[in-house]
Chains A and B, each alone.
Chain A
Amino acid sequence: MTVQHKVTELEQVVIRFSGDSGDGMQLVGNIFSNLSATLGNEISTFPDYPAEMRAPQGTLNGVSGFQVQVGKSVLTPGDRADVLVAMNPAALKTNAKSLHPRSIVIIDEDSFTDRDLKKADFLTDNPFEELKITQVQVVSCPITSLVKNSLVDSGFDGKTILRSKNMFALGLVCWLFNRPLDSAIPFLEKKFSKKPAVLAANVKVLNDGFNFGANTHASISTYRIESSNEQEKGIYCDVNGNSATAFGLIAAAERANLPLFLGSYPITPATDVLHELAKHKNLGVKAIQCEDEIAAVCSAIGASFAGHLAATSTSGPGLALKGEAIGLAVMTEIPLVVVDVQRGGPSTGLPTKTEQSDLLQALYGRNGDSPAVVVAAKSPLDCFDMAFNAAKIALEHMTPVILLTDGFIANGSSAWKIPNIDAMPAIKPPFVTEEIKEGWKAYQRNEETLVRSWAKPGIPGFEHRIGGLEKHYTTSAISMDAANHQKMTNTRYNKIAKVALDIPLLEIEGDENAELLVVGWGGTFGHLHSAVNQLLDEGKSVAYTHFQYINPLPSNTAEVLKKYKKILVCELNTGQFAGYLRGVIPGVNILQYNKVEGQPFMLSELVDCFTKTMEA
């Protein structure tokens, strides 16, 4: 049968796969993203897991989603879905608010029975009307029964057969977006390489889904998504922010020629950093799961004292527990990378949701005047670069560095051009040398950078004692002397300030002469950048700058900010960076746009807000 159907060209499209946490939505979402990347699309993904361990099947708490935006100039997973795959009524209800009015909704009609509707707290038998989404184009398909029929002779039991439902949905989505199945099959082959019968069943169902679309839904538009022409040549893989962070630390260890040590304790959403690093024993990584957050940071401090590149990974509650130990690293001037994957707070808060509310904790959450370097990654891929840079600063400046990422970029993924790691900058820690042995003291420092030298235990002639008590500037002995404490406090402060010499200057995007400067930091880059670009495309005058370095700030920060009449600091907290900037750079007009809903910004709300601010 030849079907004439409309093909719509799109620059970007947002697809959300949603179902029960056991429905395999993350898997098909990942496969669809990766195959799109191999077809030349840019991708940005965002998995949205439930916080419950395993909520009852079909209930609202058990819905697991995976959103991906594909196309060109893709920087975020997108606001609202153009296509939603809803495997049950709960999935439909959970996602109803994040749909475009005329989006396509693919449902498994077999799981929209009265019983299923009741489980998702629907009161009527028309979920679309009840949710007021009557304009959507529904592709209703008996996925469960078609899959059962298709695999009736497969020899698998009913439960196993139903596990392939997700592949039917994937096949259907591949048809919708003109993706040849040949591009999907290699991913299935990899996933099921050890189970040929399961592979065959899944490929069969994938084809069924594709054919169902081709045979029955000629009335629905199918899409051709524009390939990106901005992608550099090279070899790519898909990476999420947490893995990228782990890889950045490994890369730094290689460029510093030091072993990597991670002390960690499981905590959502940071645990995948530990998972990733625990895999790489063949690369020599020592990743230790400790008894608690404090032991995690302390074991890292011990490993650093012994001469490793040492890191600890955590989220907000864990950072709170590590505070005292980070202060010890400040006092003893020991290199340490602390990765904080921020989540909604305070307290246990919203473990699986994103937020940027640990900023002030990272800057100030320690006793005493205790300056540490604070940096923030702006995207999943930037986690690699910022983890590398955090390690480089820690090792070369003998200081703890706190790297802030967040649940959004940590779980989100993008296509990543595998870098040439040997071409990355060499990292040169200030290790002691024979020439300085005579009369050497532990806190003896480079007068220029104020960085002390590092003597690993094991070297004769450099035996020394460090600790949390204040030390004398010249003798390195314990000192409670008033003037010395002033001098050491100033030295610790100035040492961190001098890190600014090694970090890039702040850059302006958009119209440099605009009245309004939009300011962001950390994981909101994709949304802010896209919103600013949208306004620029509309001919509006707006400038944008993004901070990856929070303490110290880039050295031209004051100069840049003072050029603008209005500065709008946008962040997913109640205004922590805005307040920090007001304190550090007085005399500028700082406005705020804040949101704490556990969700990333929406492009539309940003465009609205910028427009209003420009007009005000």
Chain B
Amino acid sequence: MSTKQYTVADFKSDTKVTWCPGCGDFAILTALQKSMVELGIEPHETAVISGIGCSSRLPYFMSTYGFHTIHGRGSAIATGVKVANPRLSVWQITGDGDCLAIGGNHFIHAVRRNVNLNIILMNNRIYGLTKGQFSPTTEKGFVTKSSPFGTIEEPFEPAELTLGARGQFFARSIDVDMPTTQECMTTAAKHEGAAVVEVLQNCVIFADGIHDEVSERTTRAEKTIILRHGEKMIFGANRDKGLMLDGIKLKVVTIGENGISENDLLTHDAVESDNFLHYKLAMMHHQGFPMALGVIRNVEAASYDQEVERQIAEVQAKKPIRKLQDYLLSGETWEVI
């Protein structure tokens, strides 16, 4: 925690931001800088690590310590940074190609190990930097330069992958909704462990409008629901709709209809360790339900970097030897006189 009060300007580097005009990344960059101010972390105690892609240019625009690495390896490099120095606030910036295609293996293992990283996954469902090929999150059938007749493969759902890798934190937001993005980022930073924040981001050049259904101002209130821990699951332009459980399935209900009151609605419990309902919520937009935004899962568990330190401390408490030479002399030796 800093003694100095930092401002957004303190987190901006003097490097010119080179994203296309209108790119969703700008809003995410600003939300990140605002989150850091809100969190009270210091630029020199912060490391922003990325792979390759449009989104991965982000570290250059920050005034923190930063490392723009190679395609897909951000999670692995960030793991090394965090294990080496757990006192740093480590942010991994990645995109749907970088994180889920070439970097899929590192991503799931960072999540499984629960390395204390804040992973910001900017999902525009397209490859932007290589100019318009489909990504692992591109909807089936979508026409791109590398799928001129439409893709023939099913996409990943980042939430499903995160929970499948036994992730303890997942949040989702949309680039145009800066307050929710910021809320997700700050909660992620406070979570000890791998915290995945998916931000749906618009690529104005190669997949413009891909998220319109949920991001359009006119339809957003009906098509999304913002989940907050401890709050009732209510949505809609008139705040008159909500979610209930029907057996093991979710259902959308209208408050005031069929005798349903606010009290009958589900209350979001992000800290429940059983991920069953988190999974249902994260995936419900595939059934025509609103898309869940906000912090969907936020469960405490020991982080990998803490475990590394704990185990070293535990062994050191049992074994007094601290220098290699003493270790070698304590083993099987003989003397030549």
In-complex Cβ contact of A295 among B79, B87, B324 (8 A): B79
Contact B70–A324 (Cβ < 8 Å):
yes
Instruction: Mark each residue of chain B from 96 to 137: 1 if its CB lies under 8 Å from any CB of chain A, else 0.
Output: 000000000110010000000000000000000000000000
Contact B60–A286 (Cβ < 8 Å):
no
Contact A463–B44 (Cβ < 8 Å):
yes
Binds A, one of B32-40, B152-160, B329-337: B329-337
List residues of chain A with CB within 8 A of the CB of B75. 295
In-complex Cβ contact of B312 among A286, A292, A303, A327 (8 A): A286
Answer yes or no: A196 CB below 8 A from chain B CBs: no
For the complex, give the distance between the alpha carbons of A284 and B312 in Å: 7
In-complex Cβ contact of B88 among A294, A419, A457, A477 (8 A): A457
Residues of A within 8 Å of B, CB-based: how many?
72
Answer yes or no: A428 CB below 8 A from chain B CBs: no
Binds A, one of B193-201, B203-211, B315-323: B315-323
Contact A236–B334 (Cβ < 8 Å):
yes
Instruction: Mark each residue of chain B from 42 to 60: 1 if its CB lies under 8 Å from any CB of chain A, else 0.
Output: 1111110100100000011
For the complex formed, measure the closest distance between the CB of A332 and the CB atoms of chain B, giving whole angstroms.
Answer: 8
Instruction: Mark each residue of chain B from 178 to 204: 1 if its CB lies under 8 Å from any CB of chain A, else 0.
Output: 000000000000000000000000000
If the complex has contacts A282-B315, A458-B87, A461-B44, are A190 and B80 also in contact, measured as CB distance less than 8 A? no
Contact A469–B68 (Cβ < 8 Å):
yes
Most chain B beta carbons < 10 A, residue from A38, A40, A231, A281: A281
For the complex, give the distance between the alpha carbons of A298 and B308 in Å: 18
For the complex formed, measure the closest distance between the CB of B267 and the CB atoms of chain A, giving whole angstroms.
Answer: 37
Contact A290–B334 (Cβ < 8 Å):
no
For the complex, give the distance between the alpha carbons of A72 and B313 in Å: 45
List residues of chain B with CB within 8 A of the CB of A569. none
Instruction: Mark each residue of chain A from 431 to 469: 1 if its CB lies under 8 Å from any CB of chain B, else 0.
Output: 000000000000000000000000011111111111111
Contact A236–B333 (Cβ < 8 Å):
yes
In-complex Cβ contact of A288 among B45, B77, B83, B320 (8 A): B83
If the complex has contacts A295-B79, A467-B60, are A261 and B84 also in contact, measured as CB distance less than 8 A? yes
Most chain A beta carbons < 10 A, residue from B77, B88, B318: B77
Answer yes or no: B64 CB below 8 A from chain A CBs: yes
User: For chain A residues 65-87, which have a beta carbon within 8 Å of chain B?
Assistant: none
Which label, helix, strand, loop or mixed, suits the secondary structure of the A interface?
A: mixed
Contact A187–B69 (Cβ < 8 Å):
no
List residues of chain B with CB within 8 A of the CB of A483. none
Answer yes or no: B258 CB below 8 A from chain A CBs: no
Answer yes or no: B328 CB below 8 A from chain A CBs: yes
For the complex, give the distance between the alpha carbons of A324 and B322 in Å: 36
In-complex Cβ contact of A464 among B42, B66, B82, B308 (8 A): B66
Contact B80–A299 (Cβ < 8 Å):
yes
Contact A254–B336 (Cβ < 8 Å):
no
Contact B60–A298 (Cβ < 8 Å):
no
If the complex has contacts A282-B319, A463-B64, are A40 and B105 also in contact, measured as CB distance less than 8 A? no
Contact A310–B105 (Cβ < 8 Å):
no
For the complex, give the distance between the alpha carbons of A539 and B287 in Å: 89
Contact A308–B84 (Cβ < 8 Å):
yes
Contact B84–A303 (Cβ < 8 Å):
yes
In-complex Cβ contact of B67 among A291, A305, A325, A458 (8 A): A305
For the complex formed, measure the closest distance between the CB of B296 and the CB atoms of chain A, giving whole angstroms.
Answer: 25
Contact A465–B84 (Cβ < 8 Å):
no
Answer yes or no: A301 CB below 8 A from chain B CBs: yes
Answer yes or no: A182 CB below 8 A from chain B CBs: no
Contact A305–B77 (Cβ < 8 Å):
yes
Q: Which residue of A is nearest B13, CB measured?
A: A465
Contact A283–B81 (Cβ < 8 Å):
no
Answer yes or no: B15 CB below 8 A from chain A CBs: yes
Answer yes or no: B168 CB below 8 A from chain A CBs: no
Answer yes or no: B19 CB below 8 A from chain A CBs: no
Q: Which residue of B is nearest A281, CB measured?
A: B315
For the complex formed, measure the closest distance between the CB of A259 and the CB atoms of chain B, giving whole angstroms.
Answer: 7
Contact B324–A325 (Cβ < 8 Å):
no
A-B pairs under 8 A by CB, number:
209
Contact B323–A283 (Cβ < 8 Å):
yes
Answer yes or no: A526 CB below 8 A from chain B CBs: no
User: For chain A residues 308-349, which have a beta carbon within 8 Å of chain B?
Assistant: 308, 310, 324-325, 327-328, 332
Contact A40–B336 (Cβ < 8 Å):
yes
For the complex, give the distance between the alpha carbons of A420 and B44 in Å: 38
For the complex formed, measure the closest distance between the CB of A36 and the CB atoms of chain B, giving whole angstroms.
Answer: 11
Contact B325–A458 (Cβ < 8 Å):
no
For the complex formed, measure the closest distance between the CB of B278 and the CB atoms of chain A, giving whole angstroms.
Answer: 24
For the complex, give the distance between the alpha carbons of A234 and B15 in Å: 59
Instruction: Mark each residue of chain A from 251 to 282: 1 if its CB lies under 8 Å from any CB of chain B, else 0.
Output: 10010000101010000000000000000111
Q: Which residue of A is nearest B18, CB measured?
A: A478
For the complex, give the distance between the alpha carbons of A456 and B67 in Å: 12
Q: Which residue of B is nearest A249, CB measured?
A: B324
List residues of chain B with CB within 8 A of the CB of A238. 332
For the complex formed, measure the closest distance between the CB of B305 and the CB atoms of chain A, giving whole angstroms.
Answer: 10
Answer yes or no: B311 CB below 8 A from chain A CBs: yes
In-complex Cβ contact of B106 among A38, A291, A459, A467 (8 A): A291
List residues of chain A with CB within 8 A of the CB of B336. 40, 231-236, 417
Answer yes or no: A307 CB below 8 A from chain B CBs: yes
Q: Which residue of A is nearest B304, CB measured?
A: A288
Q: Which residue of B is nearest A422, CB measured?
A: B325
Contact B47–A457 (Cβ < 8 Å):
yes
For the complex, give the distance between the alpha carbons of A325 and B334 in Å: 43
List residues of chain A with CB within 8 A of the CB of B73. 294-295, 298, 325
Contact A302–B76 (Cβ < 8 Å):
yes
Answer yes or no: B78 CB below 8 A from chain A CBs: yes
Answer yes or no: A200 CB below 8 A from chain B CBs: no
In-complex Cβ contact of B80 among A280, A305, A462, A477 (8 A): A305
For the complex, give the distance between the alpha carbons of A183 and B312 in Å: 37
Contact B324–A283 (Cβ < 8 Å):
yes
If the complex has contacts A328-B70, A457-B44, are A463 and B65 also in contact, measured as CB distance less than 8 A? yes
Most chain B beta carbons < 10 A, residue from A232, A286, A304: A286
For the complex formed, measure the closest distance between the CB of A12 and the CB atoms of chain B, giving whole angstroms.
Answer: 18
Q: Which residue of A is nearest B328, CB measured?
A: A418
For the complex formed, measure the closest distance between the CB of A99 and the CB atoms of chain B, giving whole angstroms.
Answer: 31
Contact B85–A458 (Cβ < 8 Å):
yes
In-complex Cβ contact of A465 among B68, B327, B335 (8 A): B68
For the complex formed, measure the closest distance between the CB of B285 and the CB atoms of chain A, giving whole angstroms.
Answer: 30
Contact A254–B47 (Cβ < 8 Å):
no
Answer yes or no: B63 CB below 8 A from chain A CBs: yes
List residues of chain B with CB within 8 A of the CB of A469. 68
| Shortest 6 CB-CB contacts between residues of A and residues of B | A302-B80, A467-B68, A299-B80, A298-B76, A306-B84, A465-B66
| Additional 12 contacts, C-beta under 8 A, given A237-B333, A281-B311, A302-B49 | A233-B335, A235-B334, A261-B80, A282-B316, A290-B76, A291-B106, A299-B80, A302-B77, A307-B85, A460-B42, A463-B44, A465-B65
A-B contact pairs, 27 of them (CB 8 A): A235-B335, A237-B331, A237-B334, A282-B318, A282-B319, A284-B316, A284-B322, A286-B312, A291-B106, A295-B75, A295-B109, A298-B77, A298-B79, A301-B77, A302-B78, A303-B84, A305-B47, A457-B47, A460-B42, A463-B43, A463-B66, A464-B66, A465-B59, A465-B62, A466-B66, A466-B67, A477-B15
Interface positions of B (Cβ within 8 A of A): 13, 15, 42-47, 49, 52, 59-60, 62-70, 73, 75-85, 87-88, 105-106, 109, 308, 311-312, 315-316, 318-325, 327-329, 331-337
